[in-house]
Structure 1
Amino acid sequence: MAWHSVSQAQKLTGKSRRTLYRDMASGRVSYRTNASGHRECETSELIRVYGPLADDGTEERHTVSQADGTAPRAEIMEELKALRQEVAELKTMLLRLEHKEEPNQQPAPPAQPAAPWWHIWKKKDS
């Protein structure tokens, strides 16, 4: 059977949170503690202590999976093409900006190598 959180057990049994915790504390209802430290009760245990559980399910089946009113396929495809074109143009512009050199810019001088960390202990030649 399935395990239910305390709030789910409340809905299934129609009992208050206080009643469920009191029954757990007295040993009337057995439970386990999940990985996050919350209490869970098994379905069969809830039925054993409180009797038949509430049926929260619906009687009828839903036959429509998506509401009408979506844009026609041709419009969506046209918009998708336009968006792809715009993205391609933006990528091209970005590449041009990344590779554009600044006018009158001098090349940077080569960096001097840093002194080794142990240079403070090196004896000076005098």
Structure 2
Amino acid sequence: MAKVSISEAARLTGKSRTTLHRLIKTGELSTCSGVRNTKMVDISELLRVFGEISKPVNEQPLEQVSEQRVTGHSALNEQVVNSLKLEVEHLRTLVSAQESHIDSLKQSLQLLEHKKDVQQPLPPPAKWWQFWK
């Protein structure tokens, strides 16, 4: 179910925030962590403790909320979206360049490791007659 803040839970239940905090402290009402470790209360938990939750008077029904007004900020929003698209494309180019650089460094490292593995050639064996000298 949905999770709401302590203030929103107080508004939904008609109780004070102090009452909710007291119930949380005594363990009668459980919470969970939300964004930035804020205490959130699950709606089902409110239903368990307080029974049916009354709908606030100032809240509009969902049918009336479906209409939205178009604001004059749409041109500004489009400009921001275009700017962000350009930035994303630029960042993708940078990531691609970094990946190719990493690949070339990996190849160089493999060449260096290969040269290290190749041993120095042994000096030519001494001739048998030089052994007695």
Shorter-chain TM-score tier = 0.3 to 0.5
More helix by share: 2
